[in-house]
């Protein structure tokens, strides 16, 4: 048994790290997939909300001195509001416009927000000062041989699982969840059935952005590096995860996130760490080329 552990400790540690990262990607991916489900738009600016979450939490904790968990909750709320505002300002006026126009708007918003953050916070990488964070994060929760699991990782994993569970229950069991599913299948009919489509869409953005912002805080904490362009890289990876799982499917985004996180960490460990980001791009391109409906997703047919 010890032999096996010795052989596999690198692999198991990679697995642990990969699952943690995967959880974060899943959080972001879920935001993409939900928005795509209801308005068939890839919200490029979603990565920026993630980045905003990281920066806000940092500002609240390191500059304004708030206790960490208070900042955590506050940031999530602000991100949710921000998502609603984003939809209202940028996407709602273009509901009836051709796809290309909405796509370009999304990209424009993404670039705008990245540079806004650049202007406000500067391009230097920010880190949390050690004293501002709860001590427990830096202690090890469990270890076996060379494999360690820190409390921070436990925190990330448990929050992720909790959120996924709540989201799943919301979509399956509550009224608003059913409304979301209805709108994603057929907007016009849902409206005729008395569902306030715009409200449902705002709600979707709120939830997606809250989770995205949460992911931002967690990543900022985990890697202790916060910079304005972190959003767009993570955004693309999360989008890759969403596509891998099947765009429009929430369980798919969760699965895709997990798979991509593990694939990225293992790839970076065994193949090459410079092409770390490239692995996500490659996975995404491969999935789009070979199986665009992803692992779980459904095909959409155009009426001729």
Partner 1 sequence: MGFRLSGQNHRRLFLGLVLLAILLPWLPLGASTNYILRILTTAVLYMILALGLNIVPGFTGLLDLGYVGFYGIGAYTSGLLAIHFDLSLWLILPLAALNGALWGILLGAPTLRLTGDYFAIVTFGFSELVVLVIRNELWLTRGPMGLPGISPPSIFGHLLTRDWEFFYLILLLLLVVLVVVTRLQDSRIGRAWFAIRENEIAAQCCGVNLIRYKVTAFAISASIGAMGGAFYAKWFKFIHPDMFKFWESILILCLIVFGGMGSIAGTMLGALILIPLSEVLRAVLPQGLFSARYLIYGLVLVLMMRWRPEGLIPFERAQARKARVAKERLKI
Partner 2 sequence: MNPVLRVTRLSKSFGGLSALREISLEARPGQIVGIIGPNGAGKTTLFNCLAGLYHPTRGEIQFQGRAILPQVSEAKAEHIQQCARIFMVLGLIWLPLFWSFFLPDAPFKLELMLLGLFILAIRFLLVQGLMRFQIWAWSLMFVFLLSDLCFSIRWLTPPFSPVHLVGTHVPLGYFSWPWGLVAGPFSIYLMIQLWVRQGRQLYGFRLSPDAICRLGMARTFQNIRLFFNLSVLDNVKIGHHIQMRAGVPGALLKTRAQREEETLTEKEALEWLRFVGLEERAFDPAGALAYGEQRRLEIARALASRPKLLLLDEPAAGMNARESSRLIQLVLKIREKGIAVLIIEHDMRVMMNLADHIYVLDYGRLIAEGTPDDIRSNSKVIEAYLGGGAAHAEA
Binding-site ranges for partner 1 (CB under 8 A): 42, 90, 93-94, 97, 99-105, 107-116, 118-119, 122-123, 232, 236, 239, 243, 274-275, 277-278, 281-282, 284-285, 288-289, 292, 302, 304
CB of 228 to partner 2, least distance (A): 36
Of partner 1, partner 2, none, which one sits near residue 8, judging by CB under 5 to 8 A according to partner kind?
partner 2
Measured CA to CA, the distance from residue 1 to residue 9 in angstroms comes to 12
Sign of CA dihedral 24, 21, 162, 228: negative
Residue 79 site contact among partner 2, partner 1, none (CB < 5 to 8 Å, cut-off depends on kind): none
- Closer residue to partner 1 (CB): 122 or 134: 122
Tell me the CA distances in angstroms from 48 to 45, 120, 269, 298, one per residue in order: 5, 14, 28, 28
Nearest to 124 by CA among 23, 226, 56, 199: 226
Vertex 258: Cα angle to 253 and 260 (nearest 5): 90
Report CA dihedral (156, 161, 165, 171) to the nearest 10 degrees. 70
CB of 42 vs partner 1, minimal distance in Å: 5
Q: Identify whether the C-beta of residue 30 lies closer than 8 Å to the C-beta of residue 167.
A: yes
**In whole angstroms, how close is the CB of 301 to partner 2 at the nearest point?**
7
* Binds 161: which of partner 1, partner 2, none (CB < 5-8 Å by kind): none
- Closest approach, Cβ 303 to partner 1, in A, equals 10
Angle in degrees, 0-180, between the axes of helices 2-39 and 250-270, rounded to the nearest 10: 140
Q: Which does 301 bind (CB under 5 to 8 A by kind): partner 1, partner 2, none?
A: partner 2
The item of partner 1, partner 2, none sharing an interface with residue 11, based on CB under 5 to 8 Å by kind, is partner 2
Nearer to partner 2, 10 or 162 (CB): 10
**Cα–Cα distance for residue pair 281/286, rounded to 1 Å:** 8
The binder of 270, among partner 1, partner 2, none, by C-beta within 5 to 8 A per type, is partner 2
Nearest residue (CB) to partner 1, 25 versus 232: 232
Which structure tokens are listed for 32?
Answer: 């993409």
From partner 1, partner 2, none, interface partner of 145 (C-beta below 5 to 8 A by class):
none
Give residues in contact with partner 2 (CB under 8 A): 4, 7-8, 10-11, 270, 289-291, 301, 304
For residue 62 the two structure tokens come to 């390191």
On whether the CB atoms of residues 110 and 228 are closer than 8 A, the answer is no
- Minimum distance from residue 140 beta carbon to partner 2 (Å): 23
**Could you tell me the smallest distance in angstroms from the CB atom of residue 33 to partner 1?**
13
Query: Looking at beta carbons only, is 175 or 303 nearer to partner 2?
Result: 303
* Cβ closest to partner 2, residue 131 vs residue 302: 302
CA dihedral 136, 138, 139, 141 (to 10 degrees): 90
Alpha helices by DSSP H, listed for the chain, are 2-39, 46-58, 68-86, 99-121, 151-173, 175-185, 187-192, 197-223, 230-245, 250-270, 276-290
């Amino acid at each position: 048994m010890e032999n096996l552990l010795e052989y596999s400790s690198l692999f198991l540690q990679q697995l642990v790290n990969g699952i943690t990262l995967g959880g974060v990607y899943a959080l972001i991916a879920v935001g993409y997939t939900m928005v795509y489900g209801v308005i068939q738009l890839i919200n490029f600016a979603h990565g920026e909300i993630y980045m905003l979450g990281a920066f806000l939490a940092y500002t609240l904790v390191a500059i304004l001195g708030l206790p960490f968990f208070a900042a955590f909750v506050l940031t999530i709320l602000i991100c949710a509001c921000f998502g609603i505002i984003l939809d209202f300002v940028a996407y709602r006026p273009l509901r009836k416009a051709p796809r290309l126009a909405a796509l370009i708007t999304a990209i424009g918003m993404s670039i705008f927000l990245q540079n806004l953050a650049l202007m406000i916070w500067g391009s230097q990488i920010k880190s949390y000062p050690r004293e501002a964070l709860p001590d427990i994060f830096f202690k090890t929760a469990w270890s076996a041989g060379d494999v360690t699991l820190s409390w921070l990782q436990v925190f990330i994993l448990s929050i992720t699982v909790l959120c996924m569970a709540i989201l799943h229950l919301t979509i399956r069991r509550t009224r608003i969840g059913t409304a979301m599913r209805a709108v994603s299948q057929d907007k016009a009919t849902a409206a005729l059935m008395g569902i306030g489509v715009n409200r449902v869409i705002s709600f979707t953005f709120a939830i997606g952005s809250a989770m995205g912002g949460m992911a931002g805080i967690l990543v900022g904490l985990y890697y202790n590096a916060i910079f304005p362009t972190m959003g767009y890289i993570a955004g693309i990876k999360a989008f890759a995860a969403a596509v891998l799982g099947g765009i429009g499917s929430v369980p798919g985004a969760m699965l895709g996130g997990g798979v991509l996180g593990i694939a990225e960490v293992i790839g970076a460990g065994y193949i090459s760490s410079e092409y770390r980001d490239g692995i996500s791009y490659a996975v995404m391109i491969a999935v789009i080329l070979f199986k665009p409906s992803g692992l779980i997703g459904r095909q959409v047919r155009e009426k001729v």
